[in-house]
């Protein structure tokens, strides 16, 4: 099974706190995208057999993306070769736009395909013919990888945000020191008091200082 791309690579969605908190412990709705009708029906039947809800099936990547926007599945099973938009490109789009993880289902198991799936941010890879128990295990393992990935990207994004805010606050403090002849501790104290009295975040007060050059 191929691990997902690292944060910053193709197909990566940086998760917000609210998104991470809403991720369930186990997925219940599975999108099925497969252009061979009989195989699609078989996969949907297996999804239901392991106690999950099958969304679809659809026969191409464009339809998979459109249905995901409206039906909000938890995870997608994508054939790697589909007309119009293949499984790898669809996986990138689903993750980048919706934060939706994918598992590739393919008759091809070459290293090239596995490497391509990893670059697309795919969290699992199943070689056809698919068996119900294989599907259950792959979904469970892929979902846990996705949960770990979502938490990690949130933490990395949150750290970057806090560092950026700290930099802006420091810049605002030194504006007050230089332009208002304040001491450094006094400048910080006054910004904090303004934030409390106006019920604004400290970062909002700092941005206003940078715009005006003073503590209005």
Q: Which band of pLDDT confidence, cut at 50, 70 and 90, is reported for residue 180?
A: confident
Q: What mean pLDDT is reported for the chain? A: 84
- pLDDT (average), residues 54-72: 94
What are the boundaries of each domain within the chain?
A: 17-156, 158-212
Write the pLDDT tens digit of every residue in 23-46. Answer: 888 999 999 999 999 999 999 999
The pTM is what?
0.66
- Alpha carbon distance, N-terminus to C-terminus of the chain: 57
- pLDDT (average), residues 43-52: 96
Cα within 13 Å of Cα(34), Cβ side: 26
Answer yes or no: same fold for 17-156 and 158-212: no
CA distance 200 to 216: 13
Q: Which two tokens stand for residue 162?
A: 């806090």
Residue 74 to residues 78, 100, 188: CA-CA distances in angstroms?
13, 7, 45
CA distance 10 to 23: 22
Lowest pLDDT segment from 80-94, 102-116, 125-139: 102-116
Closest by alpha carbon to 128, among 79, 89, 86? 79
The contacts found for 45-54 with CB under 8 angstroms, 24 or more apart, are: 46/130, 46/131, 46/132, 46/135, 47/77, 47/135, 49/132, 50/132, 50/135, 50/136, 50/139, 52/27, 52/28, 52/139, 53/28, 53/29, 54/30
- For residue 134, pLDDT over 80 is answered with yes
Correct CATH for 17-156 of 3.20.20.140, 3.40.50.2300, 1.10.540.10, 3.30.390.30:
3.40.50.2300
Q: What pLDDT does 115 receive? A: 67
Q: Provide CATH code, domain 158-212.
A: 1.10.10.10
Q: What pLDDT does 65 receive? A: 94
Region for 43 from its dihedrals, namely left if φ exceeds 0, alpha if ψ lies in -120 to 50, beta otherwise:
alpha
- For residue 3, pLDDT over 50 is answered with no
CA distance 177 to 184: 6
Q: Which band of pLDDT confidence, cut at 50, 70 and 90, is reported for residue 9?
A: very low
DSSP 26: S
Angle, in degrees to the nearest 10, between helices 132-179 and 37-49: 80
Q: Which band of pLDDT confidence, cut at 50, 70 and 90, is reported for residue 83?
A: confident
DSSP helix, strand, coil percent of the chain (3-state; round to 5): 60, 10, 30
């Amino acid at each position: 099974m191929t691990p997902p791309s690292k944060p910053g690579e193709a197909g990566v969605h940086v998760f917000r706190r609210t998104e991470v908190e809403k991720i369930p412990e186990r997925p219940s709705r599975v999108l099925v995208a497969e252009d061979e009708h009989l195989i699609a029906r078989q996969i949907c039947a297996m999804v239901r057999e392991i106690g999950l809800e099958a969304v679809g099936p659809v026969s191409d990547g464009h339809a998979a993306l459109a249905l995901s926007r409206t039906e909000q599945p938890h995870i997608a099973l994508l054939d790697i070769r589909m007309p119009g938009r293949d499984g790898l490109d669809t996986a990138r789009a689903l993750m980048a736009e919706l934060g939706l993880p994918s598992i590739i289902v393919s008759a091809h198991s070459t290293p090239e395909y596995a490497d391509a799936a990893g670059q697309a941010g795919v969290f699992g890879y199943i070689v056809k013919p698919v068996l119900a128990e294989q599907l259950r295990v792959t979904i469970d393992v892929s979902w846990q990888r996705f949960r770990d990935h979502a938490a990690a990207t949130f933490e990395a994004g949150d750290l970057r945000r806090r560092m950026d805010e700290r930099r802006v606050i420091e810049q605002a403090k030194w504006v007050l020191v230089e332009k208002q002849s304040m001491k450094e501790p006094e400048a910080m104290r006054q910004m904090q008091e303004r934030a409390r009295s106006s019920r604004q975040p400290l970062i909002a007060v700092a941005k206003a200082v940078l715009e005006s050059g003073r503590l209005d």
